[in-house]
Amino acid sequence: MEKLTKEALEEFDLPGRAVLRSKNMIALGLISWTFNRDLKDTENWINEKFKNLPEVAKANIKALKTGYNFGITVEAFHHTYKVDKASLPAGEYTNINGNIGLSWGLIAGAKKANLELFYGSYPITPASDILHELSKHKNFNVLTFQAEDEIAAAAAAVGASFTGKLAVTGTSGPGLALKSETISLALSAELPLVVVNVQRGGPSTGLPTKPEQSDLMFAMYGRHGEAPLPVIAAKSPSHAFYAAFEATRIALKYMTPVILLSDNYVATGSEPWKLPEIESLNELGTNLTTKYNTEEGFLPFFRDFQTNARPWAIPGTPGLEHRIGGLEKEDGTGNVSYDTDNHQYMTDMRAWKIENIANDIDQLELNGDISSDTLVVGWGSTYGGITQAVNRLNSKGIKVASTHFTHVNPFPDNTGEILSRFKNIIIPELNTGQLSKLLRARFLVDAIGINKVEGLPFTAQELEEKIEGLIKSFSSVSTSVPTMEPVIEEVVEEVVAEEEPAVEEVLEEVVAEEEPDVEEVGIPEHLILRSAEARAKALGIPVEQVLEEMSGNKPAIEEPVAEVVEEPVADETSTEEKEEVLGEAQDSVVERVTERVTERVTERIIEKVDENVAEKKELLADNESQTDEVETSEKEEVKTDE
Amino acid sequence: MSKIPLSYKRTDFASDQEVKWCPGCGDYTILASVQNFMTELGIRKENIVFVSGIGCAARFPYYMNTYGLHSIHGRAPAVATGVSASNPDLSVWVVSGDGDALSIGGNHLIHALRRNVNMKILMFNNQIYGLTKGQYSPTSEEGKKTKSSPFGSVELPLNPMSLALGAEASFVARSIDMDRDLTAEVLRAASEHEGSAYVEIYQNCNVFNDKAFEQLTSKEGKIANRINLRHGEKVIFGAEDENAVTIRDGEAVIVKRSEIDDSEIYVHDITKDNPSIAFSLSRLSHGPYGPTPVGIFRQVERDTYNDEVREQIDSSIEQKGEGELDKLIRSLGTWDVS
């Protein structure tokens, strides 16, 4: 190619080294021929790029054409390709990568919250471009702080947050490890903070330039103590904009650190982005305050009834001077407290505050064939691959649906319901099965992972094949059933008769399991009472009055509170009131229990039928048993891929 | 920051929290000095922020009726950088100890000083880990026997003044907890200084390291060993002013006054751009043993991080106008799909 370049540019009066710089254009020309691309756009681009050096522009265009013509003349490859224009919805587009999208999302968040943006960061691959991008846009009131280390980057952001800025710190895996203690401080002091983690291959220095989704568990649990916080994941370069905006909204609304996960694939990958109407982005509310929140003064841990967020009073505000920190605080006053009950309460409250966000976020949506038995579940950068794979399978007539998490903590409210609609759950992840573990633990689903950590994203084709293989393995048993119909009927009858006494047994089991769930029906009762007590103490009014006030905002406890007011004999009514809440809760529990018992008994019956059928099959015909073996081994083969 | 005459009393700066240091702790004296001194500062208390890390000294913000942030071990200078850079109108005070500032937080300390972020760093040096009940610290003397060094520490201690001067600190001073006047004088100068001000305060831990500073605080020691550094004054000390500091081959040395001509006595100049002499003064003692300089070592004017950062933002807004999101998302070029 060097020779080709020299020959092509002989006529130009350029020094030797400058000539060789055009080598890339020979290559581009050859590639353009291979893919049947018109050269016009590239020529325009070259002319624009070198508009002050017309000679260089001419040389580059000559090189480009030489490469193209070389392809035509020697027919370097047997095949050429034509990639048609993508069909995109009409609109105005820009080309964006995830780091830029994320940076702009943060700027938009700050702007819509009417706050200045503080970004503390220490250079790290692949997150540094966020620091580079934000440091360009100082005219958006963006203050970027290149800290001495990862800890200082986070710590300065905490300081900025205390001062009333939209505070953000960004890093990749190793840096997140170093920031862990500081994130706990923000969590304990209940200060808003967005923590960006652009994931790369780990552990340790790992694969700094390769994508991996292996920090999910770390984002969820990587802090000392009971320290839950919201986790949001960007699923594509353009989505990084919205994910950052959403992380900002939640941090500010709930006074909490939020971890925003991106990864190397999202961060450095580009895609066309249909530009949003800026006006369509919501204004973001904050908890900023300049006023006393009780008659006696300002209480920094006096919570909002709806969100349980504390007020955000910033230095410079007269009369609201207060001290906060990482030591456990008394609810309400925020004074240091080693009180055991208070610590239990604050731990529960911090957890509840985050859990409560589940009904304030976008619910899961389904894509593909929703009549399917199989759901492919993803999060983060696997979105494109999964969606394409599922759509391709659908167009081949294979039934499968998909759904994608942007919010990984808390999961959207409808997660359990969506998962329960499908028999088989498949979770592709660029890790060894982290979301699988989370969903198994939380929703008791038998999730099957498609996992790899090869430093590469999934291709749609790869997922298509693996998902198809799994679906075949799911249906291999049932496909042999039709030939056995009469046998099955017989077996079903037998098994049902046998299993009848088991219904009761299952019922007991399920009831036992469901009991702890009673609390989930509304805000945990002890939190309501405790919160009311703190407020009552602060305001110097009876608890009942506070409960009444609270009921205005929390319909879930309306009834019990109304009763308290009618009958001021607090102790007795509170028992009744408890019973009533429990009663309501129990109704919905009974429903759930019935559903689950039916489900489980059915499952048992099906299992047993399957077993017995298989046995009978073996006895019935040698030929058929052979087929069955083949199918079973197929199933196993696919499973080893997990 | 506007300075207006305010009629604050000391109690206005005391929070409603019970002070929980050990009885007899030097921290009480420092707290009283600071609360007193705050009344003369002329800064409204809502504009004052105390930031601390972890340790006995780090409890300080809880006792000040100002804004306060009790952060995590060693990170106070970093947290305070965020506070100070975010709002240049605030008077930001970091309260730290020898373990917090010089051990776990050494990195943040030197970089805050280097950047000249507008904050006042009070480093209470008691040469011991008090909150964790008595282990040797990075300023404990060699041979120090503690719970974690039963055979004596084998580590050379840091010289906190030398460290700060080496880190390009623009204001470096030392005081002693028992000397309220000196503390107030040093703090006043620190508060007026634009940029980072670093003040080491020798603080007695009467439980785990009692009398560590006796050579500078006892009746005789006070007179014999304190080298008071005062800007524009000859550096002489001793009961009868019999000792002096002079500069030989670029190094500060202690001599008998009778041995030199008075004109050879070093006249202290805190404003020298070159920190060599200040550094050399810091080497006159490597701890509170024997003749030890106290007072302001160095105070030079240097651009602050806060101003520089703010200036870039302001001039960017001036040149490009206040940022508009519509323009931002189109800044990489757009195309239409119809």
For B267-280, write each residue's pLDDT tens digit. Answer: 999 999 999 999 99
The closest alpha carbon to A172, from A49, A94, A266, belongs to A266
Taken in order A269, A275, A281, A286, is the CA torsion positive or negative?
positive
Please report which helix (H) or strand (E) contains residue A600, including its range.
helix A570-620
What is the structure's pLDDT at A635? 42
B310 within some domain: yes
Say yes or no to pLDDT of A592 above 50.
Answer: yes
B219 within some domain: no
CB within 8 A of A619, min separation 6: which ones? none
B221 within some domain: no
Say yes or no to pLDDT of A636 above 50.
Answer: no
Chain A residues in contact with B326 (beta carbon < 8 A)? 278
Residues B60, B145: one domain?
yes
**Exposure of A411 by Cβ count < 10 A (0-12 exposed, 13-18 middle, 19+ buried)?**
buried
Determine whether the interchain pair B313/A95 forms a contact, defined as Cβ–Cβ distance below 8 Å.
Answer: no
Determine whether the interchain pair A323/B80 forms a contact, defined as Cβ–Cβ distance below 8 Å.
Answer: no
Local confidence band at B236 (pLDDT 50, 70, 90 cut-offs): very high
Q: Is the peptide bond before A126 cis (omega within 30 degrees of 0)?
A: yes
> Which residue has 């990195």 as its token pair?
B107
Residues B167, B68: one domain?
yes
In angstroms, the separation between the Cα of residue A540 and the nearest Cα of chain B is 18
Please give the Cα distance from B88 to B84 (Å, whole number). Answer: 6
Residues B321, B175: one domain?
yes
B14 within some domain: yes
> Which residue has 């291979």 as its token pair?
A34
Structure tokens given for A87:
């069909």
Mutate to test the interface with B, among A142, A162, A190 (most CBs of B within 10 A): A162
Determine whether the interchain pair B83/A315 forms a contact, defined as Cβ–Cβ distance below 8 Å.
Answer: yes
State the amino acid at position A164 in one-letter form. G
Q: What is the CATH number of the domain that holds B183?
A: 3.40.50.970
Structure tokens given for A12:
């130009």
What is the structure's pLDDT at A347? 97
Determine whether the interchain pair B69/A325 forms a contact, defined as Cβ–Cβ distance below 8 Å.
Answer: yes
Residues B34, B68: one domain?
yes
For B76-131, write each residue's pLDDT tens digit. Answer: 999 999 999 999 999 999 999 999 999 999 999 999 999 999 999 999 999 999 99
Say yes or no to pLDDT of A638 above 50.
Answer: no
What is the structure's pLDDT at A559? 36
Please give the Cα distance from A28 to A495 (Å, whole number). Answer: 69
Chain A residues in contact with B330 (beta carbon < 8 A)? 92, 94, 275
Determine whether the interchain pair B337/A148 forms a contact, defined as Cβ–Cβ distance below 8 Å.
Answer: no
State the amino acid at position A254 in one-letter form. Y
Local confidence band at A432 (pLDDT 50, 70, 90 cut-offs): very high
Determine whether the interchain pair A318/B332 forms a contact, defined as Cβ–Cβ distance below 8 Å.
Answer: no
CATH topology match: A94-280 vs A367-477: yes
Using DSSP's 3-state secondary structure scheme, residue A325 falls into strand
Answer for the pair B100, B122: CB distance below 8 angstroms, yes or no: no
State the amino acid at position A605 in one-letter form. I
Percent of chain B surpassing pLDDT 90: 97
Local confidence band at A356 (pLDDT 50, 70, 90 cut-offs): very high
Mutate to test the interface with B, among A323, A328, A330, A338 (most CBs of B within 10 A): A323
In angstroms, the separation between the Cα of residue B63 and the nearest Cα of chain A is 9
Residues B47, B160: one domain?
yes
B50 within some domain: yes
Please give the Cα distance from A282 to B20 (Å, whole number). Answer: 47
Local confidence band at A597 (pLDDT 50, 70, 90 cut-offs): low
* A263, A445, A503, A512, A526 from A508: Cα distances, Å: 45, 20, 9, 6, 27
Nearest residue of chain B to residue A89 (CA atoms): B337
State the amino acid at position A29 in one-letter form. G
Residues B262, B326: one domain?
no
* Mean confidence (pLDDT) of chain B: 96
Determine whether the interchain pair B65/A321 forms a contact, defined as Cβ–Cβ distance below 8 Å.
Answer: yes
Residues B200, B232: one domain?
no
For A132-157, write each residue's pLDDT tens digit. Answer: 999 999 999 999 999 999 999 999 99
What is the structure's pLDDT at B194? 97
Taking chain B, what is the end-to-end CA distance rounded to the nearest angstrom?
56
Determine whether the interchain pair A315/B87 forms a contact, defined as Cβ–Cβ distance below 8 Å.
Answer: yes
Chain A residues in contact with B321 (beta carbon < 8 A)? 139
Mutate to test the interface with B, among A140, A282, A337 (most CBs of B within 10 A): A140
Nearest residue of chain A to residue B322 (CA atoms): A139
Structure tokens given for A481:
């059933």
- Mean predicted confidence (pLDDT) in A467-485: 73
Determine whether the interchain pair B78/A152 forms a contact, defined as Cβ–Cβ distance below 8 Å.
Answer: yes
Q: Which of A139, A275, A319 sits opposite B316 (nearest CB)?
A: A139
B53 within some domain: yes
In angstroms, the separation between the Cα of residue B48 and the nearest Cα of chain A is 7
Determine whether the interchain pair A139/B79 forms a contact, defined as Cβ–Cβ distance below 8 Å.
Answer: no
Using DSSP's 3-state secondary structure scheme, residue A448 falls into strand
For A69-108, write each residue's pLDDT tens digit. Answer: 998 888 767 778 888 878 899 999 999 999 999 999 999 9
Residues B41, B142: one domain?
yes
Structure tokens given for B156:
């050379």
Answer for the pair B238, B303: CB distance below 8 angstroms, yes or no: no
Residues B112, B206: one domain?
yes
In angstroms, the separation between the Cα of residue B105 and the nearest Cα of chain A is 10
Determine whether the interchain pair A149/B67 forms a contact, defined as Cβ–Cβ distance below 8 Å.
Answer: no
The closest alpha carbon to B199, from B102, B257, B303, B122, belongs to B122
Q: Which of A140, A143, A147 sits opposite B86 (nearest CB)?
A: A143
In angstroms, the separation between the Cα of residue A279 and the nearest Cα of chain B is 9
Answer for the pair B72, A189: CB distance below 8 angstroms, yes or no: no
Q: Give residue limits of the domains in chain A.
A: 2-74, 94-280, 367-477, 490-628
Determine whether the interchain pair B86/A163 forms a contact, defined as Cβ–Cβ distance below 8 Å.
Answer: yes
Local confidence band at A566 (pLDDT 50, 70, 90 cut-offs): very low
> Which residue has 């041995």 as its token pair?
B259
In angstroms, the separation between the Cα of residue A218 and the nearest Cα of chain B is 21
Local confidence band at A496 (pLDDT 50, 70, 90 cut-offs): low
Q: Which of B15, B72, B87 sits opposite A316 (nearest CB)?
A: B87
CATH of region A367-477: 3.40.50.920
Determine whether the interchain pair B90/A157 forms a contact, defined as Cβ–Cβ distance below 8 Å.
Answer: no
Determine whether the interchain pair A325/B44 forms a contact, defined as Cβ–Cβ distance below 8 Å.
Answer: no
Please give the Cα distance from B266 to B253 (Å, whole number). Answer: 10
In angstroms, the separation between the Cα of residue B167 and the nearest Cα of chain A is 13
Local confidence band at B207 (pLDDT 50, 70, 90 cut-offs): very high
Please give the Cα distance from B281 to B283 (Å, whole number). Answer: 5
Determine whether the interchain pair A138/B80 forms a contact, defined as Cβ–Cβ distance below 8 Å.
Answer: no
Determine whether the interchain pair A158/B79 forms a contact, defined as Cβ–Cβ distance below 8 Å.
Answer: yes
Taken in order A24, A27, A33, A35, is the CA torsion positive or negative?
negative
Beta bridge mates, B267? B234
Q: Which of B15, B312, B328 sits opposite A323 (nearest CB)?
A: B15
Q: Supply the ipTM of this predicted assembly.
A: 0.97
Please report which helix (H) or strand (E) contains residue B93, including its range.
strand B91-97
Please give the Cα distance from A413 to A365 (Å, whole number). Answer: 12
Residues B316, B193: one domain?
yes
CB within 8 A of A529, min separation 6: which ones? A543
Q: Does domain A94-280 have CATH number 3.40.50.970?
A: yes
Chain B residues in contact with A121 (beta carbon < 8 A)? none
Q: Which of A91, A138, A145 sits opposite B313 (nearest CB)?
A: A138
For A523-561, write each residue's pLDDT tens digit. Answer: 677 778 877 887 787 777 888 888 887 776 544 433 333
Taken in order B185, B190, B192, B193, is the CA torsion positive or negative?
positive
In angstroms, the separation between the Cα of residue A178 and the nearest Cα of chain B is 12
Beta bridge mates, B64? B14
- Comparing A118-132, A358-372, A508-522, B232-246, the range with the smallest average pLDDT is A508-522
- Domain of B174 in residue numbering reads as 1-212+303-338
Residues B328, B236: one domain?
no
Percent of chain A surpassing pLDDT 90: 65
The closest alpha carbon to A187, from A147, A224, A135, belongs to A224
φ, ψ dihedrals at A418, nearest 5°? -60, -50
B186 within some domain: yes
What is the structure's pLDDT at A10? 85
Chain B residues in contact with A319 (beta carbon < 8 A)? 46
In this structure, what is the dihedral angle of CA atoms B19, B23, B25, B26, given to the nearest 10 degrees?
80
Residues B179, B99: one domain?
yes
Determine whether the interchain pair B325/A321 forms a contact, defined as Cβ–Cβ distance below 8 Å.
Answer: no
Q: Which of B46, B70, B313 sits opposite A326 (nearest CB)?
A: B70
The closest alpha carbon to B122, from B29, B42, B206, B1, belongs to B29
Chain B residues in contact with A155 (beta carbon < 8 A)? 71-72, 75, 78-79, 81-82, 108
Please give the Cα distance from A390 to A393 (Å, whole number). Answer: 5
The helix/strand count (H/E) of chain A reads as 23, 15
Determine whether the interchain pair A139/B333 forms a contact, defined as Cβ–Cβ distance below 8 Å.
Answer: no
- Going by the DSSP 8-state scheme, the letter that residue A301 receives in this structure is B
B23 within some domain: yes
In angstroms, the separation between the Cα of residue A238 and the nearest Cα of chain B is 11
Q: Which of A143, A314, A321 sits opposite B45 (nearest CB)?
A: A321
Pairing of strands A193-199, A166-171: parallel
Determine whether the interchain pair B337/A91 forms a contact, defined as Cβ–Cβ distance below 8 Å.
Answer: yes
Say yes or no to pLDDT of B205 above 60.
Answer: yes
Higher pLDDT, A98 or A623: A98
**Exposure of A288 by Cβ count < 10 A (0-12 exposed, 13-18 middle, 19+ buried)?**
middle
CB within 8 A of A271, min separation 6: which ones? A95, A96, A236, A237, A238
Nearest residue of chain A to residue B328 (CA atoms): A104
Strands of the sheet containing B251-256, edge to edge, are B236-237, B243-248, B251-256
Determine whether the interchain pair B84/A159 forms a contact, defined as Cβ–Cβ distance below 8 Å.
Answer: yes
Nearest residue of chain B to residue A158 (CA atoms): B79
Determine whether the interchain pair B70/A145 forms a contact, defined as Cβ–Cβ distance below 8 Å.
Answer: no
Determine whether the interchain pair A111/B325 forms a contact, defined as Cβ–Cβ distance below 8 Å.
Answer: yes
Beta bridge mates, B199? B122, B173
Nearest residue of chain A to residue B82 (CA atoms): A156
Determine whether the interchain pair A158/B89 forms a contact, defined as Cβ–Cβ distance below 8 Å.
Answer: no
Please give the Cα distance from B95 to B48 (Å, whole number). Answer: 13
